[in-house]
Structures are given as C-alpha cells and as structure tokens.
Amino acid sequence: MSSSVASFDLASPIGPWVVVARNDDRVAQEKVAALASGGVVRRLDSRNMADTAGLFTEFADKLEFPSYFGHNWYALVDCLDDLHGSWHGRRPVVIVVEEADVLVGRDFLPLFVSVLCEAAERANLSLDADGLPRSRPPFPLHFVFFLARSEVREVAKELGARDDMLIRESAGRLLVWSQSE
C-alpha cells in the first residue's frame, strides 16, 4: 500500500474525504487537534443523529446552515459544499462525528458516508454539481468518525454495500473517497 493511501492530511484538499477511526487512534486524534489552530473543527454528537431527521438537525445546528436548508441529502451536500457562516473563512474544515457507534447498523449509514464524500469532493476539488470546475478556489473539507465500541471492519462491511465509494483499510482505520466513474 502506498504512503498516500496509508496516510491522510486533513489540512489539504486531497482525499480521503472520510476517515473512520477508533477513539484510541492517537494519530487521528492528533491530526484533528493540530488542525484546530489554523482551521476549523466542528464536533457533532452522534447521539443526536440516530435517525435522518436528527442527523440533518445536528448538521444544521452545529454548522450554522442557513434557514432555507431543506433537511434532505441533496441539501446537505449543497450546504456542506458551500459552507455558510462567519466561522468558516475558507480555512480547512474537519467535521468530527463523536461516538459514531450510534450510526453503525443504521440503514442510512452507507448513504450518509457517500453523501459526505460527494460534498467533500466538490469542496476539495472546487467542482459544481455537474462535476465542472468552479471559479472559486478549493477548500479542504474532511470528515472523521470516531468509534468507541464498534470495530472499523464492521463499518467497512456496511459501506461496502455501495459501489460509489472507494474504501481502504490502513493502520486500523478506514479511508473513504468517492469512486471515480
């Protein structure tokens, strides 16, 4: 496995877009902590995300989505790709899902991760909804899921049901990208 696949950089606009790690993964925790000084780290509480309505509300509240946010998957991609609020400033953004074990086994987990990959790909590569380049510069957007009780392999098995994501297991964590067509 190449070093580019085995590692991840949360401060740059390169994949993986989603990282799934255990709470005791020091490297992942340190990378999130290091970004806090020059970027933005927002933490979501998965206990509020046990269903899709709660998931959309948690994102809207913690990321200060505009009032017209539609509380659906398409609207989530759009709002993540075009982050609003004075807190952003085109700095690297990492959204951390704490205690992501709550999401393991939920029927929407694979779709949720796929949607996050789509939003991150659009933001990181500065692409519009049709996959065409935008005039604005890219900005780093990544998602980190921390697990306390579940195993990374459980999540890999669930995500593997979709064919629109590239999933690699490396150093005890999952690295997830959008699957190129």
Cα angle 72-69-64, degrees, rounded to a multiple of 5: 120
DSSP 8-state symbol, 83:
-
Q: What is the dihedral of CA 89, 38, 118, 51, to 10 degrees?
A: -90
Torsion sign over Cα 123, 127, 130, 134: positive
Residue with tokens 């509300």: 57
Which region among 8-17, 39-48, 117-126, 147-156 has the lowest average model confidence (pLDDT)?
117-126
Task: Place 160 in a pLDDT band, splitting at 50, 70 and 90.
Answer: very high
Summarize pLDDT for 48-107 with one digit per residue, the tens. Answer: 999 999 999 999 999 999 999 999 999 999 899 877 555 567 789 999 999 999 999 999
Domain-wise residue ranges, the chain = 3-178
Predicted pLDDT of residue 10: 94
The length of the chain is 181
The overall average pLDDT reported for the chain is: 89
Tokens describing residue 75: 């609207």
Predicted pLDDT of residue 153: 95
Instruction: Record the pTM.
Output: 0.91
Domain 3-178, what architecture? 2-Layer Sandwich (3.30)
By C-alpha distance, which of 92, 49, 46, 44 is closest to 64?
44
DSSP 8-state symbol, 139:
-
